[in-house]
């Protein structure tokens, strides 16, 4: 991307890049938007620093990349139902998203991408780690790839690993259907619709079993896959500051919000973009 109208600095060998020299609050030309999208496909998660994106500008930016959708369990902020608050307050001990996952895979059509902007961050801590699921799949043995071919995973919004991380926000911002259980089946290995690459598509937060198998029968292989897919060499880590923005591709990357800032406040705004049924 030598002709990109901004600077691209890779964050790690596996995935992630910081994009500099672009003001996302501007009415960016289509060519710049296309170059940002290409950077996202190349690096799976991209980061921007020092962005001034009040809710209206954040939503306008999101619409340049896809169709914003509402999160099923939380109400959006006032006037912007597509934007939710991702927060941990000083008196809370569990953080939202503090488990490895791809966003809302319990939906029949999980989101394509997520935008997350930092409003308030702790003095230290509160980083997010991302993992490349192309590399996770590629590193599997040929025998394991044959085992997984054609398998489908069952994802549930009620899995304890995930549901406990949103309890504080449901108490403060819960939607009318906050206690509803959502379940969907997806391929364990999905093919990215834009790159054509295969990615491992189970996750610790939402996948409860393989289709046609019990949770007990599924547990050993799921445990292996969940540990394998977040090996250090597949990851990058991002330290937030106010005005930092991340955009990640949920179809091929997972993320984990580190909960290491007890007694401090962290507030973010998030938008997810409509995706397609995984194949």
Domains and CATH numbers, the chain: 7-273 (3.60.130.10)
Q: For 163-198, what is each residue's pLDDT tens digit? A: 777 676 777 777 766 678 999 999 999 999 999 999
What integer pLDDT is reported at residue 178 of this predicted model? 64
Mean local confidence (pLDDT), 251-273: 98
Strand partners, 130: 236, 255
Q: What are phi and psi of 226, to 5 degrees?
A: -65, -35
Cα separation, 229 vs 222, whole angstroms:
10
What integer pLDDT is reported at residue 165 of this predicted model? 77
Is the distance from CB of 132 to CB of 248 less than 8 angstroms?
Answer: no
Q: For 46-55, what is each residue's pLDDT tens digit? A: 999 999 999 9
* Of 103, 168, 173, 249, catalytic: 103
For the chain, what percent of residues have pLDDT higher than 70? Answer: 97
* Of 190, 192, 255, 269, catalytic: 255
* Of 101, 169, 192, 204, catalytic: 101
What integer pLDDT is reported at residue 119 of this predicted model? 98
What integer pLDDT is reported at residue 197 of this predicted model? 98
Mean local confidence (pLDDT), 8-36: 96
Residue 57: which pLDDT band, with cuts at 50, 70 and 90?
very high
pLDDT at 95 over 80: yes
Is the distance from CB of 109 to CB of 274 less than 8 angstroms?
Answer: yes
**Is residue 186 annotated as a catalytic residue, yes or no?**
no
**Is residue 103 annotated as a catalytic residue, yes or no?**
yes
What integer pLDDT is reported at residue 176 of this predicted model? 65
Q: For 136-154, what is each residue's pLDDT tens digit? A: 999 999 999 999 999 999 9
Mean local confidence (pLDDT), 20-45: 96
Residue 209: which pLDDT band, with cuts at 50, 70 and 90?
very high
* Of 192, 266, 269, 270, catalytic: 270
Q: pTM of the full predicted structure?
A: 0.95
What integer pLDDT is reported at residue 73 of this predicted model? 87
**Is residue 2 annotated as a catalytic residue, yes or no?**
no
Is the distance from CB of 37 to CB of 28 less than 8 angstroms?
Answer: no
**Is residue 270 annotated as a catalytic residue, yes or no?**
yes
Residue 101: which pLDDT band, with cuts at 50, 70 and 90?
very high
Residues 6 or more apart in contact with residue 141 via CB below 8 angstroms: none
- Measured between alpha carbons, how far apart are the two ends of the chain, in Å? 29
């Amino acid at each position: 991307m030598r002709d990109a109208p901004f600077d691209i600095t890779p964050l790690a060998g596996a995935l992630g890049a910081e994009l500099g020299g672009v003001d996302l609050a501007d009415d960016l030309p289509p060519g710049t938007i296309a170059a940002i999208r290409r950077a996202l496909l190349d690096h799976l998660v991209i980061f921007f620093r020092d962005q001034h994106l009040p809710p209206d500008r954040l939503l306008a930016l999101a619409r340049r990349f896809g169709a914003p959708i509402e999160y099923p369990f939380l109400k959006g902020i006032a006037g912007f139902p597509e934007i939710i608050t991702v927060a941990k307050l000083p008196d809370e001990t569990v953080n939202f998203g503090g488990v490895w996952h791809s966003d809302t895979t319990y939906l029949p059509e999980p989101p394509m991408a997520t935008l997350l902007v930092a409003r308030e961050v702790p003095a230290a801590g509160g980083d997010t780690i991302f993992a490349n699921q192309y590399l996770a799949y590629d590193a599997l043995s040929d025998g394991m790839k044959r085992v997984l071919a054609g398998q489908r995973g069952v994802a549930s919004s009620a899995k304890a690993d995930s549901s406990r991380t949103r309890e504080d926000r449901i108490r403060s911002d819960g939607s009318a259907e906050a206690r509803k259980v959502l379940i969907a089946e997806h391929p364990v290995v999905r093919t990215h619709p834009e790159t054509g690459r295969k990615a491992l598509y189970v996750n610790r937060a939402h996948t409860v079993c393989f289709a046609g198998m019990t949770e007990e029968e599924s547990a050993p292989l799921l445990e292996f896959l969940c540990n394998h897919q977040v090996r250090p060499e597949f990851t990058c880590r991002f330290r937030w500051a106010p005005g930092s923005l991340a955009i990640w591709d949920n179809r091929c990357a997972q993320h984990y919000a580190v909960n290491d800032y007890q007694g401090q406040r962290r507030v973010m705004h998030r938008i997810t973009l409509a995706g397609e049924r995984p194949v």
